[in-house]
């Protein structure tokens, strides 16, 4: 195969690589670090091993190149041999040729040939011999080339295998160093994804995500179109499952320019990071190609591409200018600038710059979408696009009542705004219709709030009606209307008084309407009626109560007046109110007329009506203010009643006012109905039935009495029953109905032969059972035809018949089979005889089923007991669907749950013998917990799992983590190689689940309350880590470090925190415990405040030599006097001063004095001094300037440090 396509085989050397080369792999991995060593030693060993592997790989590559050159030379030789291969009609071996020559020589000896023929044959034999020799030599050379090529190919295969092993070992060692593991603990998995998925896995974002979530390292092999994953077995397996379950992956490329590329990156990469985190796709920005490559789930890539295009479209920075009226500036600003700040915050990045003074413009700048949002908000707030603008005059006297302090009292529709235009006007903007409506409301409010005064003449007799009791009616009217009502005093000889109403026009109008409603002076209808003198007090009532009631009920005004003929009543109001008042007054008159009425005499309850010595009758007269006359005597006399009332009239008379007489008649009639009496004589057999029923149910007659509201007296000896009360007739009918039901009757029921045989069976006792069931009915059996006879009263017979029919139906013949599992058959077989006798059925084991024959009810009972035994001893399996971290919690507690359901010897003891315990299988890939065992332990274990999860959910705790805290939890718990992460150790030691979301950087604690509290206490100390980042000026970096690192060491020792300083970018990172970081940051701030001041002083070029002095003497003297560092830059003409605030101020003052003494130019230059004290001051001298270190260096720097001389 290799000889046919040598170059193609060498072009893809992986086809020649063997899967394993144990000896060479062991030799290359022989120098691996000890798993028990510390992490630093492991890392050092890995680095040394990597170097050795690199040098070995170089030698192997050189060896492979040499072998490849030799193989190419052999291929050239092989092609040459193939090209010059001997040709002939037939290819014979040397032995065949020699045999053929001998045969030809023998033939020549036997035949007679001419010399010419003999010469030809000899030449032919020589040619054959030469051809055979050349072919043998060619075969020998070709075989030699083939053997050498095979040997070289095997050697090259071995070298390629060694290179592959070296590359694998190097990659594994690098992954181990990156993951902080030993190489022995790292495994590798090779993935062959699609081109799109390979593009995604090759991105830095996805590699970082897999590193954070699964603790794996991903390497992309573009030549082999594969991806290799390194890490611990669990992480590699989880990462492989994650990659396999990603679904369709898409890749998109977007061409952008430099500006849009910077926009996508954002401040310190914040925008591209946010896009990646929110979309779940990788975003790779390629500056050279000006291309953005998106890779991720297909749908997410499409959505992200649209989002980026929208982002590029809307994030363009624009600026516009809006004009408004001067009176609207306050509305735009808001209280304390609140409105402007709200618009800026809601716009999403727009900045509003409002003109000062009389400038009524606002400049809006920022991203396009934010500027547009702010413009819409401002236009809506100020109604800049209003169709109509109206100015309405509002008198200053009512401006506060109509408008308020601003315009807050106006009810403005949406899209309309109003602003005060001076003290007596308001300007309204909006749509034409809305503005007109608001203007009308303002004008109406102005008119309504105008102060007016009205008077009303009131008759003196109506004043009391207006005032009410204690003036309450007048006070309530003033409070309701908001007007002030004052009544003048009554003058001598005048019947009219004046009511003065003051207030706003609206309040005065409401008050006048209220007064008219009471007085009814302008009523539509007015009438006068006469009332007899005797009825007038009843019409007026006590304290006017009755006439006021009629006024309130009818709504009419009613006045009463006296004259010589009687009393007159005047009624004013609407026609309906006047008629209602007349009817009410007539009703009062009619109810108070004196009448005499007759009522039937209640002889059956005369004793109750009279009472002892007629006291009840006198009480009735006093209660109703009437007189009662019994037939033959008047109770008004003192003559005692001595008569039997027999043969006297059957009615009595009641005299008095109509309303009282009607009430007394109603009470007498109710008494008569309540105590009506009826007597009935029963037949002897009915009396006996009723007596027996009363003996059996003592509450029978009391129940009837309570049901019908009567009293019942039963005399069994005389067969009499007496009913007394209003419902006597219904009670009498009910008693007759009950007696008809209690008379005995007979019923016959068909009984099938099977049930009849059961009843005749002696050992069963079923006949006695049926007799007890139908009691108190009597039971008898009839053979031909087969029937059951019942005898009882009608109410009892129906129930007994239903019970007997149900019994016959339940005991119908029935046959069933119950399937029995193999593990239960051995337990069930010994019990069959006992169950058959207990349930009176026939039981037989037939293979894997039990046959049951007998009465249906008995068959159902034994079938239920058989199923209970099967459920108790059969093995079942229950699956519970859970999610993380519930699966982890169940896995932690699985051993305890199993132990709680094990007996003393591994099985729970039950009535039927020993049962195996349960097994708990947690299947993470399916999200299931599978419980296997018998029914009761499974149910109990399922309940325990549910209770465990419910209690864990109630106390689940979630908290956010910083990057440092996340790294602390993922870090190995010990320095030993292959040690598990710290969070897993906490999880196992505290029996609580620690679920880490590496993308969202959150930690969820899930477990029992005690376990969660315990792990929280452990985490409080373990996660006491913090990190602070500060941006400082580059000039302050030497101050922070100090001479030979003195300052930074002092800060670390005093605070206990660690520092990382980026000299080029000016970044300072402080990390450690929270208290240490806080102390370190405070000390760093104090150091920068103390030694981080700076100042700049612009000077002219001719003043520079004056500041430096001869040989730098002046500038050194200034530094010595002030303690600051002074740098002179000749290029930009600036003198920079750096040091503590006090030293900078002193040096600035000395420089100003020096320049002032040097002439007007110096003075002029001194006026331009600008101070820039603070930790973030300006940098020191540039490359063309000069600086001399001052006399007071910051801590850590001594005055002996080399000084930088100024250059004049």
Distance of CA 458 to the CA centre of its chain: 71
Report residue 1207: phi and psi, to 5°: -105, 120
Q: Which segments within 460-544 are labelled E, that is strand?
A: 484-487, 496-504, 525-531
Q: For residues 1141-1161, b (16+ Cβ closer than 10 Å) or e, as one string?
A: bebbbbbbebbbebbeebeee
**Cα separation of 631 and 649, whole Å?**
6
Where b means 16+ CB within 10 Å and e means fewer, 865-895 reads ebeebbebbebeebebebeebbbbbbbbbbe
pLDDT of residue 89: 43
Q: Cα(148)–Cα(135) distance, rounded to whole angstroms?
A: 20
Residue whose C-alpha is closest to residue 230's, from 246, 219, 238: 219
Per-residue pLDDT tens digits for 440-497: 888 777 777 777 788 887 776 677 777 777 777 788 888 888 888 888 877 766 767 7
Average pLDDT over residues 1198-1207: 32
- By three-state DSSP, how is residue 631 classified? coil
Q: Which two three-digit tokens encode residue 142?
A: 């070709």
User: What is the pLDDT at residue 794?
Assistant: 76
Residues 6+ apart with CB under 8 A from 637: none
**306-319 pLDDT, tens digit each:** 888 887 777 777 78
Task: For residue 530, count CB atoms less than 10 angstroms from its CB and return exposed for 0-12, middle for 13-18, buried for 19 or more.
Answer: exposed
Q: Classify each residue of 955-986 as buried b or exposed e, where b means 16 or more C-beta atoms within 10 Å of its C-beta.
A: beeeeebeeebbebbbebeeebbebebbbbbb
pLDDT in tens, 1150-1172: 888 888 864 433 333 333 333 33
**Percent share of the chain, pLDDT over 70:** 85
503 Rama class: left (phi>0) / alpha (psi -120 to 50) / beta: left
Of the candidates 864, 874, 877, the residue with the CA atom closest to the CA atom of residue 820? 874
Mean local confidence (pLDDT), 672-685? 81
| Residue 714: strand, helix, or coil | strand
Which one has a higher pLDDT value, 974 or 685?
685
| DSSP annotation string for 903-916 | -TTSEEEETTEEEE
854: left (phi over 0), alpha (psi -120 to 50) or beta: left
- The reported pLDDT for the residue numbered 872 is 78
CB 1188 within 8 A of CB 1116: yes
- pLDDT in the model for residue 222: 57
CA–CA gap between residue 480 and residue 477 (Å, rounded): 5
Joined together, the tokens standing for residue 248 give 């369709």
* Range list of β-strands (E), 731-829: 744-750, 778-782, 787-793, 813-819
What 3-state class would DSSP assign to 590? helix
- Answer whether 721's CB lies under 8 Å from 677's CB: no
User: What pLDDT is stored for residue 15 in this prediction?
Assistant: 33
User: How far is it, in rounded angstroms, from Cα 1148 to Cα 1094?
Assistant: 10
Q: List, for residues 10-56, the tens digit of each pLDDT value.
A: 333 333 333 333 333 333 333 333 333 344 444 445 455 555 556 66
Three-state DSSP state, 10: helix
| Across 227-248, average pLDDT | 85
Q: What are phi and psi of 656, to 5 degrees?
A: 155, -170
Confidence grade of residue 1204 (pLDDT, cut at 50, 70, 90):
very low
Q: How far is CA 1165 from each of CA 1116, 1157, 1170, rounded to the nearest angstrom?
A: 21, 12, 11
Beta strands in 324-376 (DSSP E): 351-354, 361-367
In this prediction, residues 1136-1140 reach a mean pLDDT of 78
Give the span between the Cα atoms of 576 and 1155, in whole angstroms: 108
Report CA-CA distances (Å) from 156 to 146, 152, 221, 533, 1039: 15, 6, 22, 145, 61
Q: Is 251 helix (H, G, I), strand (E, B) or coil?
A: strand
pLDDT at 410: 79
Question: From CA 16, how far away is CA 157, in angstroms rounded?
Answer: 5
Over residues 977-982, mean pLDDT: 76
468: three-class secondary structure by DSSP: coil
- What's the mean pLDDT in 102-108? 82
Token digits of residue 274: 């946010």
Q: What are phi and psi of 1173, to 5 degrees?
A: -65, 155
> Which ranges of 1126-1178 does DSSP label H, i.e. alpha helix?
1141-1157, 1160-1166
Q: What is the DSSP string of 148-200?
A: HHHHHHHHHHHHHHHHHHHHHHHHHHHHHHHHT--GGG-EEEEE---HHHHHH
Mean pLDDT over each residue of the chain, to the nearest integer = 77
pLDDT range class, residue 632, cuts 50, 70, 90: low
Mean pLDDT of 227-234: 86
Distance CA 426, CA 399 (A): 10
Cα 132 to chain centroid, rounded: 94
Which residue(s) pair with 216 in the sheet? 231
Residue 432 burial (CB < 10 Å; 0-12/13-18/19+)? exposed
Longest dimension (CA), the chain: 205
Residue with tokens 């109770």: 635
For residue 1173, is pLDDT > 50? no
Q: Which of 622-631, 879-888, 1098-1107, 1182-1191 has the lowest mean pLDDT?
A: 1182-1191
pLDDT per residue as tens digits for the range 407-418? 777 777 777 888
For residue 783, give both structure tokens: 């053979």
Q: What is the pLDDT of residue 223?
A: 55
In this structure, the strands spanning 1067-1072 and 744-750 are unpaired
Is the predicted pLDDT of residue 1058 greater than 60, yes or no? yes
- 766-774 and 794-810 are packed helices; what angle lies between their axes, rounded to 10 degrees? 150
Task: Tell me whether strands 928-933 and 876-881 are parallel, antiparallel or unpaired.
Answer: antiparallel
Q: Do 239 and 229 form a contact (C-beta atoms < 8 A)?
A: yes
Which residues lie below 8 Å from residue 844, measured CB to CB, with a gap of 6+? 832, 850, 851
Mean pLDDT, to the nearest integer, of 63-88? 84
- Distance, in Å, from the CA atom of 427 to the CA atom of 413, rounded to the nearest integer, reads 15
CA 631, CA 206: separation in Å to the nearest integer?
A: 117
Q: Is 960 helix (H, G, I), strand (E, B) or coil?
A: strand
Helices 684-696 and 728-742: crossing angle in degrees, nearest 10, is: 90
Burial class of residue 457 (count of CB atoms within 10 Å of its CB; 0-12, 13-18, 19+)? exposed
The Cα–Cα gap between 721 and 682 comes to: 7
Residue 773 has pLDDT above 60, yes or no: yes
CA dihedral 617, 618, 624, 625 (to 10 degrees): 140
Q: Give the confidence band of 565 by pLDDT, cuts at 50, 70, 90.
A: low
Question: What is the distance between the alpha carbons of residues 113 and 121, in angstroms, rounded to a whole number?
Answer: 10
Q: How confident is the model at residue 594 (pLDDT cuts 50, 70, 90)?
A: confident
Element (H, E) at 402: helix 396-403
Those residues whose C-beta lies under 8 Å from the C-beta of residue 573, and which sit 6 or more positions away, are 520, 523, 524, 525, 554, 555, 556, 557, 581
Tell me which range, 89-93, 315-319, 847-851, 1192-1196, is most confidently predicted by mean pLDDT. 847-851
pLDDT at 635: 43
* Of residues 1033 and 846, more confidently modeled: 846
d(CA 1027, CA 1058): 10
**711: its two tokens:** 């009293």
């Amino acid at each position: 195969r290799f000889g046919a396509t040598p170059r193609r085989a060498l072009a893809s050397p992986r086809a020649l690589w063997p899967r394993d080369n144990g000896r060479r792999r062991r030799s290359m991995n022989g120098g691996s670090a000890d798993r028990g060593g510390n992490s630093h030693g492991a890392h050092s060993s890995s680095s040394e091993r990597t170097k050795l592997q690199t040098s070995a790989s170089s030698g192997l590559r050189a060896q492979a190149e040499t072998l490849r050159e030799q193989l190419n030379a052999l291929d050239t030789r092989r092609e040459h041999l193939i090209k010059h291969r001997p040709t002939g009609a037939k290819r014979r071996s040397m032995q065949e040729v020699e045999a053929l020559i001998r045969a030809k020589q023998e033939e020549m000896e036997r035949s007679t040939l001419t010399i010419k023929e003999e010469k030809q044959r000899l030449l032919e034999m020589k040619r054959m011999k030469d051809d055979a020799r050349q072919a043998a030599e060619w075969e020998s050379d070709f075989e030699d080339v083939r053997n050498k090529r095979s040997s070289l190919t095997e050697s090259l295969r071995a070298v390629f295998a060694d290179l592959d092993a070296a590359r694998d070992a190097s990659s594994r060692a690098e992954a181990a160093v990156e993951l902080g593991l030993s190489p022995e603990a790292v495994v590798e998995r090779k993935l062959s994804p699609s081109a799109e998925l390979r593009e995604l896995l090759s991105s830095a974002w996805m590699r970082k995500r897999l590193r954070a979530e699964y603790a794996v390292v991903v390497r992309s092999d573009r030549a082999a179109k594969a991806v290799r994953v390194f890490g611990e077995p669990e992480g590699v397996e989880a990462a492989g499952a994650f990659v396999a379950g990603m679904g369709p992956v898409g890749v998109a490329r977007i061409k952008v320019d430099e500006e849009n590329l910077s926009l996508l990156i954002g401040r310190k990469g914040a925008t591209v990071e946010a896009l990646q985190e929110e979309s779940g796709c990788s975003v790779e920005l390629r500056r050279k190609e000006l291309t953005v490559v998106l890779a991720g789930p297909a749908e997410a890539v499409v959505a992200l591409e649209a989002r980026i295009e929208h982002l590029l479209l809307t994030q363009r920075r624009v600026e516009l200018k809006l004009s408004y009226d001067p009176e609207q500036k306050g509305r735009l600003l808001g209280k304390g600038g609140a409105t402007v700040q709200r618009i800026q915050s809601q716009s999403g990045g727009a900045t509003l710059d409002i003109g000062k003074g009389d400038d009524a413009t606002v400049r809006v700048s920022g991203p396009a979408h934010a500027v547009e949002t702010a413009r819409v908000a401002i236009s809506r707030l100020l109604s800049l696009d209003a169709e109509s603008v109206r100015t309405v005059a509002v008198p200053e006297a009512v401006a506060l009542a109509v408008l308020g302090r601003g315009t807050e009292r106006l009810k403005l529709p949406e899209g309309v705004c109003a602003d005060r235009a001076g003290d007596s006007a308001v300007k309204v903007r909006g749509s034409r219709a809305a503005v007109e409506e608001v203007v009308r409301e303002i004008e109406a409010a102005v008119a309504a709030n105008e102060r007016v005064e009205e008077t009303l003449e009131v008759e003196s007799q109506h004043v009391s009606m207006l005032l009410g009791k204690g003036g309450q009616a007048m006070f309530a009217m003033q409070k309701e209307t908001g007007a002030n009502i004052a009544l003048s005093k009554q003058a001598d000889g005048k019947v009219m008084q004046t009511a003065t109403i003051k207030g706003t026009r609206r309040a005065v109008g409401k008050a006048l309407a209220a007064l008219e409603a009471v007085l009814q002076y302008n009523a539509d209808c007015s009438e006068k009626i006469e009332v007899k003198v005797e009825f007038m007090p009843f019409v007026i009532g006590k304290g006017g109560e009755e006439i006021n009631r009629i006024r309130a009920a009818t709504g009419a005004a009613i006045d009463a007046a006296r004259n010589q003929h009687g009393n007159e009543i005047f009624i004013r109001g609407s026609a309906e109110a006047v008629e209602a008042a007349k009817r009410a007054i007539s009703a009062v008159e009619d109810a108070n007329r004196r009448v005499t009425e007759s009522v039937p005499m209640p002889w059956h309850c005369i004793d109750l009506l009279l009472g002892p010595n007629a006291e009840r009758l006198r009480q009735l007269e006093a209660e109703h203010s009437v007189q009662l006359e019994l037939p033959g005597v008047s109770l008004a006399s003192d003559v005692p009643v001595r008569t039997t009332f027999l043969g006297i009239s059957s009615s009595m008379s009641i005299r008095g006012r109509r309303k009282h007489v009607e009430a007394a008649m109603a009470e007498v009639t109710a008494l008569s109905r309540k105590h009506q009496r009826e007597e009935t004589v029963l037949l002897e057999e009915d009396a006996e039935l009723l007596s027996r029923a009363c003996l059996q149910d003592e509450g029978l007659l009391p129940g009837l009495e309570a049901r019908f509201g009567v009293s019942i007296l039963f005399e069994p000896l005389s067969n009499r029953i007496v009913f007394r009360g209003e419902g006597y007739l219904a009670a009498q009918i009910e008693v007759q109905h009950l007696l008809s039901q209690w008379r005995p009757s007979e019923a016959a029921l068909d009984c099938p032969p099977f049930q009849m045989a059961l009843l005749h069976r002696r050992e069963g006792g079923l006949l006695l059972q049926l007799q007890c069931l139908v009691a108190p009915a009597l039971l008898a059996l009839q053979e031909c035809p087969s029937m059951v006879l019942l005898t009882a009263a009608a109410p009892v017979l129906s129930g007994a018949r239903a019970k007997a029919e149900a019994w016959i139906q339940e005991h119908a013949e029935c046959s069933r089979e119950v399937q029995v599992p193999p593990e239960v058959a051995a337990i069930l077989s010994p019990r069959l005889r006992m169950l058959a006798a207990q349930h009176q059925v026939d039981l037989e084991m037939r293979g894997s089923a039990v046959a049951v024959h007998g009465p249906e009810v008995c068959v159902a009972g034994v079938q239920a007991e058989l199923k209970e035994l099967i459920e108790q001893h059969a093995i079942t399996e229950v699956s519970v669907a859970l999610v993380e971290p519930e699966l982890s919690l169940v896995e932690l507690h699985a051993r305890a749950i199993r132990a709680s359901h094990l007996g003393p010897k591994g099985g729970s003891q039950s009535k039927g013998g020993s049962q195996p315990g349960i097994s708990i299988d947690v299947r993470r890939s399916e999200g299931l917990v599978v419980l296997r065992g018998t029914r009761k332990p499974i149910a109990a274990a399922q309940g325990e799992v549910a209770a465990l999860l419910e209690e864990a959910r109630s106390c689940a705790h979630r908290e956010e983590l910083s990057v440092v805290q996340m790294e602390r939890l993922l870090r190995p718990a010990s320095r030993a190689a292959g040690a598990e992460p710290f969070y897993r150790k906490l999880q196992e030691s505290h029996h609580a689940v620690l679920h880490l979301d590496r993308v969202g950087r959150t930690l969820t604690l899930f477990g029992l309350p005690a376990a969660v509290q315990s792990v929280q206490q452990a985490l409080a100390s373990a996660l006491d880590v913090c990190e602070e980042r500060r941006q400082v000026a580059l000039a302050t970096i030497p101050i922070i470090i100090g001479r030979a690192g003195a300052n930074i060491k002092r800060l670390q020792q005093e605070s206990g925190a660690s520092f990382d300083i980026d000299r080029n970018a000016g970044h300072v990172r402080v990390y450690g415990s929270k208290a240490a970081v806080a102390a370190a940051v405070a000390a760093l701030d104090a150091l920068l405040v103390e030694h981080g001041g700076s100042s700049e002083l612009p000077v002219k070029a001719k003043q520079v030599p004056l500041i430096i002095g001869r040989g730098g003497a002046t500038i050194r003297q200034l530094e010595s006097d002030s303690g600051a560092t002074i740098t002179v830059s000749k290029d930009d003409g600036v003198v920079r001063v750096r040091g503590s605030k006090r030293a900078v101020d002193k040096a600035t003052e000395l420089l100003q004095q020096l320049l002032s003494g040097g002439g007007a130019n110096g003075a002029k230059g001194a006026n331009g001094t600008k101070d820039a004290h603070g930790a973030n001051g300006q940098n020191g001298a540039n490359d063309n300037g000069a600086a001399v270190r001052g006399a007071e260096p910051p801590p850590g720097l001594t005055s002996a440090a080399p000084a930088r001389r100024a250059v004049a």
